Amino acid sequence: MALSIGIVGLPNVGKSTLFNALSAAGAQAANYPFCTIEPNVGVVPVPDDRLEKLTALVKPLKKIPTSLEFVDIAGLVRGASKGEGLGNQFLANIRQVDAVLHVLRCFEDDNITHVEGGVDPVRDRDVVDTELCLKDLETVEKRRERAQKNAKMGGKAGDEAKAELALLDRVKAGLDSGITVRGQKLTAEEHAAIRELFLLTDKPVLYVANISEKQIGKEDADPYVKAVREMAAKEGAGVVVLAAAMESEIQQLPEEERPGFLESAGLTEPGLHKVVREGYKLLGLQTYFTVGEQECRAWTIHKGDKAPQAAGVIHSDFERGFIKAEVMRWEDLIKYGSESAVKEKGLLRVEGKEYVVQDGDCMHFRFNV
């Protein structure tokens, strides 16, 4: 689906370390090639135990996970909205992604300079948000100028321009007060009305609290992590706590040594898995499966997609000529061991065009073109 998440943050917060760990995971963890589209773009598989279990049951020739694209965006500094540092590059790249993974430094290290002079993750968030708000103000101002001219017209066009101007004035007032667009509680219709502006602060955000290895297991009492969690809770945003440097080290180990390393560190799985899964949820995505002797495959769709749309992810002909979908739950397939056994239990359903696909459905489509 070509959906991407931009990794952002100030310089020296662990942003590139996290990206490098993610990219190594893409190359090694799931036998799924890390795809370098540009020097700073990588496609990473989404870890999914359900796909592993289905593959173990069916033993297909191929297993294909779903994936997400991560973009390592140049570090931002104060004044980026005016072109300071690599500001123009940062802002151009972030405009193109669908969501933001904001890395916040929560560790002390005298050997790694902090561009703001000391560790304060909430202040760092404010620096980035301020620069993004300033850039969004420029975009909104340009659109307001056009709306003001059109509002002088008569009839329907004039009325629409007046409504747009009123909305832009509200958004501008919020940005002037340092409130991101996503924090302004706009309705779905209002979001849709300004979607084509690609406002930077309208993108959903997930925070990564980057800690050191010695902080692992003490996160709940850590003042920096607590500050990030409290800040995110006020926004309604998610938080993943991980040690990016250690995650990068884990990816350098032979695969058979990783479980022991994780156990010794007091972890049940790499923190990267949480980042990818949370990023997937952040974009409002879910997974359905196709299961057969040739391949077991996970497919990405949006929550709320109906059966024809889900079929169209495989091929446009499937959507165009959709007739019906045979659907069973992945848990039932694992429990009863085969499609025929699921059918005998009356748990294989035939669904039509209005069926809303559920996360974890196993589907087989009938179509005719």
| DSSP secondary structure string for all residues of 336-351 | HSSHHHHHHTT--EEE
pLDDT of 353: 96
pLDDT of 90: 57
Would you say 286 and 329 are in contact if contact means Cβ atoms under 8 Å apart? no
Would you say 318 and 301 are in contact if contact means Cβ atoms under 8 Å apart? no
The H-assigned helical ranges of the chain are 15-28, 49-58, 87-95, 121-151, 155-176, 188-194, 223-235, 244-252, 258-264, 271-282, 307-314, 316-320, 330-336, 339-344
pLDDT of 184: 92
pLDDT of 274: 87
Per-residue pLDDT of the chain (369 residues; tens, 9 = 90+): 567 888 888 888 888 888 888 876 543 222 233 333 444 788 888 889 999 999 999 999 999 999 888 888 766 656 545 554 444 555 667 778 889 999 999 998 877 767 677 889 999 999 888 888 888 898 899 999 888 888 888 788 888 888 888 999 999 999 999 899 999 988 888 888 888 888 889 999 999 999 998 898 898 999 999 999 999 999 999 999 999 888 888 888 888 888 888 888 888 888 888 888 888 888 999 999 999 999 999 999 999 999 999 999 999 999 999 999 999 999 999 999 999 999 999 999 999 999 999 999 999 999 998
DSSP secondary structure letter of residue 325? E
Where is 68: in which H helix or E strand? strand 67-72
pLDDT of 350: 97
pLDDT of 87: 45
Q: Which of 76, 116, 69 is nearest to 96 (CA)?
A: 69
pLDDT of 225: 96
Q: How far apart are CA 100 and CA 207, in angstroms?
A: 8
Q: What is the pTM of this model?
A: 0.82
pLDDT of 85: 45
* pLDDT tens profile 208-245: 999 998 898 898 999 999 999 999 999 999 999 999 88
The SS3 of residue 43 is strand
pLDDT of 89: 55
289-292's contacts with Cβ under 8 Å and 24+ in sequence apart are: 289/50, 289/51, 289/54, 289/330, 289/360, 289/361, 289/362, 289/363, 290/314, 290/362, 290/363, 290/364, 291/54, 291/58, 291/60, 291/333, 291/339, 291/362, 292/58, 292/60
pLDDT of 79: 59
Q: Which of 206, 5, 16 is nearest to 125 (CA)?
A: 206
pLDDT of 39: 42
**Average pLDDT of the chain to the nearest whole number:** 86
Distances in whole angstroms, Cα of residue 76 to Cα of each of 85, 93, 358: 7, 12, 39
pLDDT of 159: 84
Distances in whole angstroms, Cα of residue 289 to Cα of each of 228, 292, 330, 358: 36, 10, 8, 11
